[in-house]
A and B are shown apart, each in its own frame.
Chain A
Amino acid sequence: MLPEIGEFAMILALFLAAAQAFFGIAGAWKGNARWMSAVAPAVAGQFVMLGLAFGCLIWSFVHNDFSVRMVAGHSNTALPIYYRVAAAWGNHEGSLLFWVFVLSTWTVAVAALSGSLPRTLYARVLGVLGFISTGFLLFSLATSNPFARLQPAPPDGVDLNPVLQDFGLTIHPPMLYVGYVGCSVAFAFAIAAMLEGKLDQTWARWTRPWTTVAWMFLTVGVALGSWWAYYELGWGGWWAWDPVENSILMPWLLCTALIHSLAVTDKRGLFKSWTLLLAIMTFSFCLLATFMVRSGVLVSVHSFASDPARGVFILAFLVLVIGGALSLYVWRAPLLRSNAGFDITSRESFLLFNNILLVIATAVVFGGTMAPFISDLLGLGTLSVGAPYFNPTFVLPIFPLLALVSIGVFSRWKRGGLGDSRRRVIGSFALAVAIGLGLILGIYGDRSLLGPIGVVLGAWIIIASLIDPVDRLRRGLSLSPAVLGMTMAHIGLGVLTLGVTTMEARMLARDIALHTGQQVKLGDYAFNFDSIKDIEGPNYSAKQATITVTRDGKLVNTLLPERRTYWVQQQSLAEASLGISWTRDLLVTMGEDLGNGAWSLRVQVRPLMRFVWLGAILMALGGLLSTIDKRYRKRVEATQAQAVPSPSQSQPA
Chain B
Amino acid sequence: MTPRRKRILLVLGIVAGVAIAAGLGLRAFRSNVMFYFDPTQVAAGQVKTGQRFQLGGMVEVGSVKRQTGSLEINFVVTDFQHQLPVRYTGVLPDLFKENSGVVAHGRLDSSGTFVADEIVAKHDENYMPPAVKRSLQKGESRLGQGT
Contact = CB atoms under 8 A, between A and B. Distances in A.
Contacts of B3: 341
B71 interface: yes
A244 B127 CA distance: 13
B35 A396 contact: no
Nearest to B130: A300
Contact of A389 (B17, B32, B36, B128): B32
Given A367-B29, A383-B33, A397-B21, A589 B91 contact: yes
Nearest to A303: B130
Nearest to A342: B3
B25 A235 contact: no
Given A349-B10, A389-B33, A591 B69 contact: no
B61 interface: no
B88 to A, nearest CB: 10
Interface stretch (A26-34, A95-103, A193-201, A593-601): A593-601
A339 to B, nearest CB: 12
A358 to B, nearest CB: 12
A596 B34 contact: no
A320 interface: no
A242 B123 CA distance: 10
A419 interface: no
B78 interface: no
Contacts of A602: 90-91
B18 interface: yes
B68 to A, nearest CB: 4
Contacts of A360: 17-18, 21
B125 interface: yes
Nearest to B6: A344
A388 B32 CA distance: 6
A645 interface: no
Interface in A351-388: 356, 360, 364, 367-368, 371, 376, 381-386, 388
A376 B127 CA distance: 18
B131 interface: yes
A383 B89 contact: no
Contacts of B121: 233, 235
Contact of B66 (A161, A349, A569, A594): A594
Given A592-B92, A594-B70, A393 B29 contact: yes
Given A393-B24, A396-B21, A574 B94 contact: yes
A233 B29 CA distance: 28
B32 A513 contact: no
A537 interface: no
Contact of A596 (B31, B69, B89, B131): B69
Given A235-B93, A300-B133, A382 B35 contact: yes
Contacts of B28: 388-389, 392-393
A572 interface: yes
A368 B29 contact: yes
Nearest to B71: A513
Interface string B87-129: 0011111110000000000000000000000000101110110
B25 A364 contact: yes
Interface in A142-173: 161, 163-164
B94 A573 contact: yes
6 contacts: A235-B93, A367-B25, A384-B54, A511-B91, A513-B70, A572-B94
Interface of A: 161, 163-164, 233-235, 242, 244, 299-302, 341, 343-344, 349, 356, 360, 364, 367-368, 371, 376, 381-386, 388-389, 392-393, 396-397, 511-513, 515, 569, 571-574, 589, 591-592, 594-596, 598, 600-602
Interface of B: 3, 6, 9-10, 14, 17-18, 21, 24-25, 28-29, 31-36, 54, 66, 68-71, 89-95, 121, 123-125, 127-128, 130-131, 133-134
Given A513-B69, A595-B68, A595-B69, 17 more contacts: A164-B124, A235-B93, A235-B121, A299-B130, A343-B6, A344-B9, A356-B14, A367-B29, A383-B33, A393-B24, A393-B28, A396-B21, A511-B89, A513-B71, A569-B125, A600-B90, A600-B91
